[in-house]
Amino acid sequence: MSSASPPGHWLFGHARLFRRDPLGYATILARTCGDRVPLRFLTRRALLISHPQGIGEVLVGKSRSFRKHFALRLARPALGDGLLISEGSTWTQHRQIVQPAFRKEAIASYAPIMVEHATRLVDHWQDGQTLDVHLQMIDVTARIVTQCLFGTELGAGADEAHAAMAILTESFKSRLDALVHLPLILPTPANRRFRRAMAGIDGVLGRIISQRRQGPPRPDVLSALLQAARPDGTPALDDRAIRDEVATLFLAGHETTANALSWTHWLLARHPDCQARLERELDETLAGRPPSLADLPQLPYCRQVIEESMRLMPPAWIIGREALVPVEIAGALVQRGTTVLMSPWVVHRDRRWFAEPERFLPERWGDGLAERLPDFAYFPFGGGARSCIGAGFARMEMALLLACMASRFRMTLAPGARIEALPTITLRPRWGMPMVLQARSSPVPTIPPPQLRPNAPARLAT
Ligand code: HEM
């Protein structure tokens, strides 16, 4: 693995360049400086690792030498000590409590809920309507995660939760960008907005938790959290811990999936040949009826579209760890305290693993590519013990939702739509995703039309 440090500012190091254009800068660094790029963010040492082998060592082989990185810990005011951030025995114990809700059989039982919510959504859509598809995806995925994991309708809490989410994302981004982090307790306008947003989310989730406390237990993750007990019979989780896990599952369980679906619609709109092939597959398999879990094996192209979308627009575009001890990674020493950054956005665009990496080619996944790739050449859900607990949930949800939506509507970008990726903790469309809906009553052409010319900023060209 090669290693070279790019020139940086004498005081800020590489912080300003990284902050200005994280996706572009990380990509250029990996291409020009190699698989192992030492960086400095003010006083913080960092290392960008872009080779699957080194990434595997950090996430799996030597994972005990690392903890979650500082940027993720900045999300602690929102996520508390939930699964995404917690470490050590808290993480082990809580993951064991939550894990059964993500077993194969449990996930299979969520499929009808997912289809019902997607059908409800699409039933409201109208031919010729222009709407922000990203907001629609946020809404439907929030409702789905709430019902699947907490056994209740998000209902009227949805608007409150969505407004709060937007503020939380914005607040996280500015805290990430700030070189000095003012304590959230200071009454700055941004901090007040943040606290109001948190109160909004906590209000919605608090209502869900207290309703369950008053009713009978159910076979879902919320009851598992409430009922978890120590060997002496006392509750294993206090109120704060329950709130943190519920907030983490709610936030991590819908924002990423919503982003992935929004980017998928965008990519399909830019590639009418892929859109047409998907529609043909859906028409042949479903013939207009809603999909079910049993249909997914007959919808390989639909699943390939999703994998290819997560390759190019990975919702978790960067994963970070902090070295707890000096540790050798790919033959070189990483000092204690160093932040190791690993970017699916960068690695998924590496031509050593993907031919024509910038092109959206769902069919590339058709001939066993996933099995041929080295581990961690494709890692949208991370890896190792801290990999995404919701990967199976998300993959099924995305396939079912895409099948529901693309069976009934085709989407094109609204005229003048400004599409830009905003890389914060996730990769979301900065200005939303305004699209025009076209009801699919007409038969799908059998000869695919030619590829669209790229019409978005260079780094989003696919
Ligand atoms: C396309 C959708 C999704 C993507 C791309 C995604 C990605 C990821 C990634 C990369 C991680 C690891 C982060 C790290 O190593 O620091 C992660 C962790 C996590 N994800 Fe997801 N995720 C998705 C959907 C979901 C869903 C649907 C849920 C829950 C319903 C979920 C819950 C979690 C939780 C709780 C963790 C922390 C796991 C732990 O450390 O034990 N995610 N996710």
What tens digit of pLDDT does each residue of 303-341 get?
999 999 999 999 999 999 999 999 999 889 999 999 999
Q: Residue of the nearest CA to atom 29 in ligand 1?
A: 253
**How far is the centre of ligand 1, averaged over its atoms, from the C-alpha of 196 (Å)?**
25
Tens digits of residue pLDDT in 251-278: 999 999 999 999 999 999 999 999 999 9
> 302 or 69, which is more confident?
302
**How far is the centre of ligand 1, averaged over its atoms, from the C-alpha of 317 (Å)?**
12
Q: Report how far residue 352's alpha carbon sits from residue 51's, in angstroms, rounded to the nearest whole number.
A: 10
Q: What is the DSSP letter of 126?
A: -
pLDDT at 316: 95
pLDDT at 176: 66
pLDDT at 457: 39
Which residue's structure tokens are 């092109």?
359
Tens digits of residue pLDDT in 340-387: 999 999 999 999 999 999 999 999 999 899 999 999 999 999 999 999
CA gyration radius, the chain:
22
Measured at the CA of 176, the angle between CA 87 and CA 140, to 5 degrees, comes to 75
Local confidence band at 181 (pLDDT 50, 70, 90 cut-offs): low
Residue 55's domain spans which residues? 15-92+316-354
pLDDT at 454: 34
Residue 162, in any domain of the structure: no
Q: Residue of the nearest CA to atom 37 in ligand 1?
A: 84
Q: Report how far residue 94's alpha carbon sits from residue 82's, in angstroms, rounded to the nearest whole number.
A: 8
Mutate to test the pocket of ligand 1, among 244, 246, 256, 341 (most ligand atoms within 8 A of CB): 256
pLDDT at 447: 40
Task: Please count the structural domains in the chain.
Answer: 1
Ligand 1 pocket list (CB less than 6 A): 68, 83-84, 95, 145, 248-249, 252-253, 256-257, 260, 315-316, 319, 380-382, 386-390, 393-394
DSSP 356-409: STTS--GGGGGGSHHHHSPTTSS-TT--GGGS-TTHHHHHHHHHHHHHHHHHHE
pLDDT at 175: 65
The structure tokens listed for 39 are 């960086």
> 96 or 178, which is more confident?
96
Residue 21, in any domain of the structure: yes
Q: Residue of the nearest CA to atom 11 in ligand 1?
A: 388
Residue 25, in any domain of the structure: yes
**How far is the centre of ligand 1, averaged over its atoms, from the C-alpha of 389 (Å)?**
6
Q: Which ligand 1 atom is nearest residue 68's CA?
A: 16
Residue 339, in any domain of the structure: yes
Average pLDDT over all residues of the chain: 89
Residue 341, in any domain of the structure: yes
Is the per-residue pLDDT at 450 higher than 50? Answer: no
Is the per-residue pLDDT at 297 higher than 80? Answer: yes
**How far is the centre of ligand 1, averaged over its atoms, from the C-alpha of 252 (Å)?**
6
- Residue 218 CB contacts under 8 Å (≥ 6 apart), including other chains: 151, 212
pLDDT at 448: 43
Residue 191, in any domain of the structure: no
Measured at the CA of 430, the angle between CA 119 and CA 118, to 5 degrees, comes to 5
Residue 370, in any domain of the structure: no
Is the per-residue pLDDT at 201 higher than 80? Answer: yes
What are phi and psi for residue 47, nearest 5 degrees? -145, 125
> 30 or 177, which is more confident?
30
Q: Report how far residue 272's alpha carbon sits from residue 278's, in angstroms, rounded to the nearest whole number.
A: 10
Local confidence band at 10 (pLDDT 50, 70, 90 cut-offs): confident
Mutate to test the pocket of ligand 1, among 388, 398, 400 (most ligand atoms within 8 A of CB): 388
Residue 219, in any domain of the structure: no
Q: Residue of the nearest CA to atom 40 in ligand 1?
A: 386
Judge whether 1 and 331 are in contact, CB under 8 Å: yes
Is the per-residue pLDDT at 57 higher than 90? Answer: yes
Domain CATH number, residue 53: 3.30.43.20
